[in-house]
Amino acid sequence: MRHLIDIKDLSIQEIDELIKVANDIIAHPDKYSEKCHNKKLATLFFEPSTRTRLSFEAAMMELGGNVIGFSSASSSSTAKGESVSDTIRTVGCYSDIIAMRHPKEGAPLVASIKSTVPIINAGDGGHNHPTQTLTDLLTIYREKQRLDNLTIGLCGDLKFGRTVHSLVTAMSQYKNIKFVLISPEELKIPEYLKEGVLEKNNIEYIQTDSIEDSIAKLDILYMTRVQRERFFNEEDYLRLKDYYILDKEKLKNAKDDLCIMHPLPRVNEISTEVDDDPRAAYFRQVRYGKYIRMALILKLLEIE
Amino acid sequence: MNIDSIKNGIVIDHIKAKNGLEIFNALKLGELDCSVAIITNAKSKKMGRKDIIKIDKSIDLDLDILGYIDEDITINIIKDDIRVDKYHVEAPKEIVNIIKCKNPRCITSSEQELDQIFVLTDKENKKYRCKYCETLYNQN
Ligand SMILES: [Zn+2]
């Protein structure tokens, strides 16, 4: 039995296989509409995240399966002090696969140790969120028809943004990838990623604080939100939250086939005037999130 | 004092001065039923001052943790008054319930019955990360 706790649990071949299946689902949805007949997905959200939960639930429903679960800790037995392990072993009696979100880092790993059914980490604090990374990879593939030979701009909070860290790690395995790391001084990418991933894999990268200076060479622009909860003081947050706002003016020199991504929800970092630009891929990205989760559920349930 | 004074047992030598008690506790030597001596501030040619622990019994002790605390520590195995083995312990791949994760967002902070497991992720620099949240353990 396999779980997905960390994107590093998957080999590059397995990721490519998931993308292949997701592409097939998009092309032939009818073929998959009964694949999970009589199977149940439990969505255990110890902290609320409506969009991630709905994505998992929609994915299971489109596979013909059913969904049970809870959407916040107050409605679960954790509120009564039950351990993660006990909750998981109980829920494992009612379900075939579990998608779990938890505010504590490492909780899904704890869950997987005693679980009798596959566990999918749907986010554990600021730690891992592997299905977001899979979503990003499928989006890049769908929009660019490849995962190699790309110049990827990452913009915003590169210090705390876990989606950025996982994406850098995952994309560094593909050939001829270049990164443009766009952030204010305070929100630069951590040293351990620069040394442990970029430099270790001889990946070309530049660090800058200007979108305008670098936008012309990008194939992908991945925007992120600056999150209030990562800051100790409100002042720093307010100063940095609107540091980058992507608008039509900034896109003036961008390539015609640029792909603009964002893990959503957005606040101000992409002006709504960009939404109708065909290069804006962030709402398509949401849709791809459902398809890659469908592919993942099939893989972990070992359904062909 | 010297290591000849026990007939059968283990001598843990070249412990940094004042670290003897920490090692005594980490190895749970207080739970043994044989005599155990901690010699602290012994004179050492190499180290100036050092601590030594002598265990007066041939027992099978898990000494892996010494590799985490200090790789320079020397283990001497004594049999019938003769030193039959002498070695250093390498940093272990995993250490369990010796150090604690300090990340307040870690699952071990709210579920205290979980084992505190740290994994060696960088052998060269002897860096350990929490198995659950992957936070780097900072010895200070
Ligand atoms: Zn931890």
> Which residues of A are annotated as catalytic?
51-52, 80, 101, 129
- Quote the pTM value: 0.89
Q: What is the pLDDT of residues A92-107, one digit of tens each?
A: 999 999 999 999 999 9
Chain B residues near residue A83 by CB distance under 8 angstroms: 111, 113
With 80 as the cut, is the pLDDT of residue A232 above it? Answer: no
B127 burial (CB, 10 Å; 0-12 / 13-18 / 19+) is middle
Contact B132 A110 (CB under 8 A): yes
| pLDDT number for residue B65 | 87
Q: Is B103 on the interface with A (CB under 8 A)?
A: yes
Q: Percent of chain A beyond pLDDT 70? A: 98
Q: What is the pLDDT of residues A103-142, one digit of tens each?
A: 999 999 999 999 999 999 999 988 999 999 999 999 999 9
| pLDDT number for residue B5 | 75
Domain boundary among B55, B71, B88: B88
CB atoms within 10 A of CB A42: 23
Q: Does residue B52 sit in the same domain as residue B119?
A: no
Q: Is A109 on the interface with B (CB under 8 A)?
A: yes
Domain over A130-286 is classified CATH 1.10.760.10 = no
Q: Does residue B81 sit in the same domain as residue B25?
A: yes
**Would you say residue B60 lies in a domain?**
yes
Q: Does residue B17 sit in the same domain as residue B76?
A: yes
- Chain A: give the shortest CA distance to residue B109, in Å: 9
Structure ipTM: 0.88
Contact B105 A104 (CB under 8 A): yes
Residues of chain A with CATH 3.40.50.1370: 7-128+289-300, 130-286
Q: Does residue B74 sit in the same domain as residue B120?
A: no
Length of chain B: 140
- Chain B: give the shortest CA distance to residue A124, in Å: 9
- Domain region containing B103: 94-130
Q: Percent of chain A beyond pLDDT 90? A: 86
Higher per-residue pLDDT: A68 or B123: A68
Q: What is the pLDDT of residues A263-279, one digit of tens each?
A: 999 999 999 999 999 99
Contact B134 A127 (CB under 8 A): yes
Q: What is the mean pLDDT of chain A?
A: 94
Q: Does residue B55 sit in the same domain as residue B119?
A: no
With 70 as the cut, is the pLDDT of residue B1 above it? Answer: no
Fold for the domain defined by A7-128+289-300: Rossmann fold (3.40.50)
Chain A residues near residue B113 by CB distance under 8 angstroms: 83
How confident is the model over B78-100, as a mean pLDDT?
92
Q: Is A104 on the interface with B (CB under 8 A)?
A: yes
Q: Does residue B20 sit in the same domain as residue B43?
A: yes
**Would you say residue B32 lies in a domain?**
yes
Q: Does residue B57 sit in the same domain as residue B113?
A: no
**Would you say residue B57 lies in a domain?**
yes
**Would you say residue B124 lies in a domain?**
yes
Q: Does residue B102 sit in the same domain as residue B80?
A: no
Q: Does residue B82 sit in the same domain as residue B23?
A: yes
Q: Does residue B67 sit in the same domain as residue B124?
A: no
**Would you say residue B18 lies in a domain?**
yes
Contact B109 A125 (CB under 8 A): no
**Would you say residue B137 lies in a domain?**
no
Domain count, chain B: 2
List all residues of chain A from 227 to 256 with a beta carbon under 8 Å from chain B.
none
Q: What is the pLDDT of residues A179-213, one digit of tens each?
A: 999 999 999 999 989 988 999 999 999 999 999 99
Q: Does residue B14 sit in the same domain as residue B82?
A: yes
| pLDDT number for residue A269 | 94
Q: Does residue B107 sit in the same domain as residue B40?
A: no
How confident is the model over B72-100, as a mean pLDDT?
92
Confidence of residue B41 (pLDDT cuts 50, 70, 90): very high
Q: What is the pLDDT of residues A6-28, one digit of tens each?
A: 999 999 999 999 999 999 999 99
Tell me the CATH number at B36. 3.30.70.140
Contact B110 A102 (CB under 8 A): no
C-alpha A132 chain-centroid distance: 1
